[in-house]
Amino acid sequence: MTLGDATVVEEIVRDGCYVSDFQFDPPDLAALAGRVDDLSFVDLLDVGPGTGFGTTTPEPTPPDARHLDIVADATDDTGLTTLLLPGVAGPSEVDLIASYEDAFDLVRVGVDADDPHAARPLLRELAGLDVRTSLNLLKTYLVSPAEAIDAAHFGVEHGAEVVYVVDSAGGFTPEDVGRYVTSLTDTGAAVGYHGHDNTGFALANAVAAIDCGASYVDASLQGIGRSAGNTQTELLCGRYPSDVPREDWRRLREIEEVVESVYPGESGVAVDDVLYGLAGFHSSFSDQLRALAAEYEASFADVLVFAAKHDCSTVDDVRRAYEPGKQESTPVRPDAAEPSMN
């Protein structure tokens, strides 16, 4: 599945672990990867420490081989990706990926956008693997869109099938993203977008990237990631509700507890609040909605998702429309009428 026709790359492991200095308790890492694997709209999980396999400072826990063993064992339906950096990763890290080749769908090589030639050794090493490769233009703002095109052509010439626009500092606007993504769509490579939220545009920028033809978009549960964080996965779901089945909204609510246990004190917009927004449902009615769910012997999650799906902006709206035991597994409706204010 996709969100807005873009493949979703979940960043809660690799970019998320910046907030924990690349430290995971193995059971927590397994639980996190396993819960992401349950989300049907997530196609790829970015794994490894923040600066990629081969990182020595800070020393990641668990070590690279054990980390990869844990996430590969915890995921069945979600492909893996990772980011390799020249000077950090080398032949031994490529060999490690090769030993899990069946689990990887994409391997990304990150270089500063003004030095694409630094990717050549790693792209050459990866050429022998049966896995797609990406050239990630870190700090894409260092170059103009025209220079980004030249860098993309270099990547394609050396085997990259994907080229990423990367807003490393989180300062892009949607217009900036549109210029870069649009410029790269004719380079012969699929285009990806990875953004940060330093100026509050992460979600709008991700949507702009998708609108302009990006095939991959990165997001992180609760927006957790380096610096001000990444595009928040739950908010991105809210922009493409027709692509999110009811079961996934329930799973997103459940995974909040796992994320909190792995990254204590780190949080973004709660799933319930996203659903209140989709329904036009004022949060002050939540206690009444919980009572209605108890009356119907239904889960609060199911009733709340129903409210969002059916544009029920009051408890009375839900009571009139909800039929206990007859709720099908359908996505939230994207074209609901404008809700009244409460």
Q: What are the pLDDT digits (tens) for 12-43?
A: 999 999 999 999 999 999 999 999 999 999 99
Average pLDDT, the chain: 94
CB contact set of 57 (below 8 Å; sequence gap of 6+)? none
Kindly report which listed range (275-279, 320-324, 336-340) carries the lowest average pLDDT score: 336-340
Tokens of 117: 């030639």
pLDDT at 326: 67
For residue 217, the cross-strand partners are 8, 193
Q: What share of the chain has pLDDT > 90, as a percent? A: 92
Nearest alpha carbon to residue 217 among 167, 142, 269, 278 = 167
Which helix H or strand E contains 46, and what residues bound it? Answer: strand 42-47
pTM: 0.94
Residue 86 DSSP label: B
Give the model's confidence band at 290: pLDDT under 50 very low, under 70 low, under 90 confident, else very high.
Answer: very high
pLDDT band at residue 324 using 50, 70 and 90 as cut-offs: confident
Q: How far is CA 104 from CA 22, 54, 72, 98, 191, in A?
A: 21, 17, 9, 9, 18
Does 208 score more than 70 pLDDT? Answer: yes
In this structure, what token pair is assigned to residue 332?
Answer: 């939230």
Alpha carbon of 195 to those of 70, 141, 192, 205, 211: distances in Å? 27, 12, 10, 7, 15
